[in-house]
Structure 1
Amino acid sequence: MSKNQTPVVFTGDAGDYFGIWIVNLMLSIVTLGIYSAWAKVRRKKYFYNNTLIDGVGFDYHANPIAILKGRIIAVVLLVLYTVLSGLNPTVGALLALILFLAIPWIVVRGMMFNARNTSHRGLRFDFDGKSGAATLVFIGYPLLILLTLGLAMPFVAQRTNKFLFDHHKFGLSHFQMNALVKDFYMIYLKLLGSLIVIGIVITVAIKSLVGGLAPSPVSLNHTHYLQTTTAPGFIKVAGTPVAQQEAVAEESDQLSPEQSAEVEAQLKKLTEQMGQAEVGSDEAATTTTVKKDPAVEAFEKYAALLGPMIYVMILGGLLLYMLVIFLVVAYMQSRITNLVLNNTSLEHVGFFGNQRMRDLVWLYLSNIMLIMFSGGLAIPWTHIRMARYRAEHLAITGETDWDKFIGEKKESSRAMGEEIADMFDIDISFG
């Protein structure tokens, strides 16, 4: 840590937070979700109070009633949409379109609510983004991604982060995010190249595995013969015994009665001999060992090995898929966060982030394993781990005189639109 850097310190404890978390969970269940508004305030206050800059923590001042109002309105709108869609799909679709077009306004009001209810050293944050600009960011740009088949995604990521950071204020001072579009494209291109390499490696590995398990080819010149014996003195017809009988029957129609009787006697005798031959072959099969065909033996060995291997391959494929997802998320989270923080300033104060992909992959994997094996009881500990990691890899740069930022606290005079913002409490996190 440089002498011109002020570290961000997180002092939260998993044991203390577990008590808050379990009480919040139980009361939210008992009250059918009503207490969740108070639970959110308690949770955010704990994390804010334990995040310190130069020994002073943040604070969260939101009114749980305002949050509860917003959630009630959200539930009412959801129920209204469900009912209208069932009664009249056209009206339901129209309501869905209206809600979709209202997303930019809801996001802006939500950002205002969270910023204005956050303070450090008694000075409040603020957000002054406009709904018109938000419409371009949250509706126009996503459509651009679709039209360009994803090629505009880095551009949209840069514009979205710039909108969110540039419109945040601490007191009267604006944040400024100066990362360029080309910087975002470099991150996405490296990710694309890495995914292509991973795909090639996986394809080669699968082909090698399947090729190693495949049986050796059997020569097609290996010929099998079915030897049959026809008793002397009988009519011989090419083919199987059944075909012989059918052919003899056809010829018997053209014979005299004496000849027909002789043919029938021969057929009866032939049938008896065939039955005796089948009995003898069954007895021989039980007393002698028949040598299996090499192709059959190879197939049986391959099938016996392939049976359990199918389950192993499916499980391995799922684990590999999860690992790739974790790698992608960790890469994007670390690279985008570092890029944005290292290019953001607040007047003469800057920020420094140095998150690492391998650290985040380990945190994601270990946190999921902890939650699974603890039946969910380790969730508070995973939250504390993530908060501590983010704080440890964030610092304030520059000669920081915090007294310069502390002035008279702004008077909060809320207009009608801001009161509605209190009701629409939407906690949206952006990396």
Structure 2
Amino acid sequence: MDLQSVNHIENAAPKAQRHTVQFSGDAASYFSLWAVNILFTILTLGIYSAWATVRNKQYFYGHTSIDGHRFDYLATPIQILKGRILAAMCFTFYIVSSSYFPLIAALFLFIWMFAVPWVINQGLRFNLRMTRYRNVQFSFAGNYKDAFINFIVLPFLSIFTLYLAMPWVLKRIDTYIHNNIFYGDKKLTVQLTTSEYFRIAFACLFTVVGVAIVIGVFTVVLGSIDDLAQQPQLLGGIIVLFNFLMITVVAGMYQAMIRNHIFNNAQFEQVARFESNLATVDYVVLVFTNALAIVCSLGLALPWAKVRKAKMLAAATSVCVYPSAEHVINVQLESQSSFAEEAANVFDIDISLT
């Protein structure tokens, strides 16, 4: 076969089309929805929170699109409410038993440690199963053994390394989560590198040290001024502000860099591959100003902050879609319970995706 024929075949081969993720929501419309949700949740003593959760997710899913196709959130308020009631009952049992029956509470915590991997898996299954794009639903295929090793065993063992192995543990966790995601019958594959996690961890560590030094210098300088020295509350407020700055800066740095690494190394083979060019400095500024606005407004700026974040993340994300994406088969799985998802929320387990 001559070179001209090869070039003709390559040119005829279907190529991926690159699309930037679009988010069409706005702060004004979401504020109206958010305010109604808050009002009804208060009036119903929290019962309406299940409907509020569904409406919030439907708003953000429905305003997020790729190549003109929007995402759908399929969960119903009743599913969420049932799971929330069961999870709240578990939490209430723990609170009561810890006050009156310490041995039972200790046994409950021991059992809970072994239940956490199952809760995480079920929460991911429910969230992904309730997500649909182009009439094809997502799913999660993680198993208990791998979840127990990655979420319980390895973090515990990292203590004996003085947490020096924690970047590797976090890489294992992200690999486990993302490599078990399916879009219809197509598996997501990610190729994450341990060296990149250590690089990001050291960058965050050096930032913490740098900010701590600045805080220390300002504390010494301001503390030497008689007026401030006589106003410990004001000095304490300044220190709290600097610590707030440090936490938001480091959190924003880590989230932006890890997100880029995961997205730029993830693909559904012959369906789609992902790109993320989220600027670390821009995202850090957004995280800090959002947090500051929420605190200063006593929470009223939350809708504005969430929409602002969604717009930045969408604008920084691109998806290269292959023609074969049209032929993905929607695998029908059994209905998933929201109990585990709500249990994770009640017991403060973060199972969100990057």
Sort the TM-score into its range (normalised by shorter chain): 0.7 to 0.9
Counterpart position of 2:318: 395
Counterpart position of 2:13: none
- Label 1:11 to 1:86 Cα distance change in 2 as closer, same or farther (>3 A): same
State the one-letter code of the partner of 1:43: N
Candidates 149, 154, 158, aligned match of 1:145: 158
Counterpart position of 1:330: 252
Tell me how far apart the structure 2 counterparts of residues 339 and 163 of structure 1 sit (CA, whole Å).
15
Candidates 79, 82, 104, aligned match of 1:66: 79
Candidates 14, 25, 42, aligned match of 1:29: 42
- Label 1:316 to 1:4 Cα distance change in 2 as closer, same or farther (>3 A): same
- Label 1:4 to 1:318 Cα distance change in 2 as closer, same or farther (>3 A): same
- Label 1:123 to 1:303 Cα distance change in 2 as closer, same or farther (>3 A): closer
Shift of 1:6: 1.1
Counterpart position of 2:5: none
Shift of 1:372: 3.7
Shift of 1:333: 0.8
Q: CA RMSD in A?
A: 2.3
Counterpart position of 1:165: 178
Determine helix, strand or coil for the equivalent of 2:338: helix
Candidates 312, 328, 341, aligned match of 1:425: 341
Counterpart position of 2:147: 134
Asked if 1:340 corresponds to 2:253, the answer is: no
- Label 1:138 to 1:106 Cα distance change in 2 as closer, same or farther (>3 A): same
Q: How do residues 12-411 of structure 1 correspond to structure 2 at under 5 angstroms?
A: 12-203=25-216, 209=221, 303=226, 306-307=229-230, 313-348=235-270, 349-397=272-320, 400-401=322-323, 403-407=325-329, 409-411=330-332
Contact 2:120 2:341 in 1 (8 A): no
Tell me how far apart the structure 2 counterparts of residues 105 and 30 of structure 1 sit (CA, whole Å).
34
Shift of 1:201: 4.9
- Label 1:318 to 1:88 Cα distance change in 2 as closer, same or farther (>3 A): closer
Deviations 1:23-75 (A, max 9, x none): 11111111111111111111111111110000111001112212111111111
TM-score, with structure 1 as normaliser: 0.71
Counterpart position of 2:21: 8
Deviations 1:121-180 (A, max 9, x none): 000101011111111111111102212111111011100000110000001111111011
Shift of 1:424: 2.7
Tell me how far apart the structure 2 counterparts of residues 429 and 109 of structure 1 sit (CA, whole Å).
12
Give the stretch that moved more between structures: 73-82 or 360-369. Answer: 360-369
State the one-letter code of the partner of 2:253: Y
Q: Which runs of 5+ in 1 are unaligned?
A: 214-301
Percent same amino acid among aligned pairs?
Answer: 34
Tell me how far apart the structure 2 counterparts of residues 156 and 144 of structure 1 sit (CA, whole Å).
10
Tell me how far apart the structure 2 counterparts of residues 305 and 69 of structure 1 sit (CA, whole Å).
54
Tell me how far apart the structure 2 counterparts of residues 77 and 205 of structure 1 sit (CA, whole Å).
46
Give the stretch that moved more between structures: 348-357 or 311-320. Answer: 311-320
Tell me how far apart the structure 1 counterparts of residues 228 and 159 of structure 2 sit (CA, whole Å).
46
How many residue pairs match? The answer is 331
- Label 1:66 to 1:196 Cα distance change in 2 as closer, same or farther (>3 A): same
Contact 2:30 2:303 in 1 (8 A): yes
- Label 1:200 to 1:42 Cα distance change in 2 as closer, same or farther (>3 A): closer
- Label 1:179 to 1:370 Cα distance change in 2 as closer, same or farther (>3 A): same
Counterpart position of 1:238: none
Q: Which runs of 5+ in 2 are unaligned?
A: 1-15, 346-350
Tell me how far apart the structure 1 counterparts of residues 105 and 233 of structure 2 sit (CA, whole Å).
45
State the one-letter code of the partner of 1:333: Q
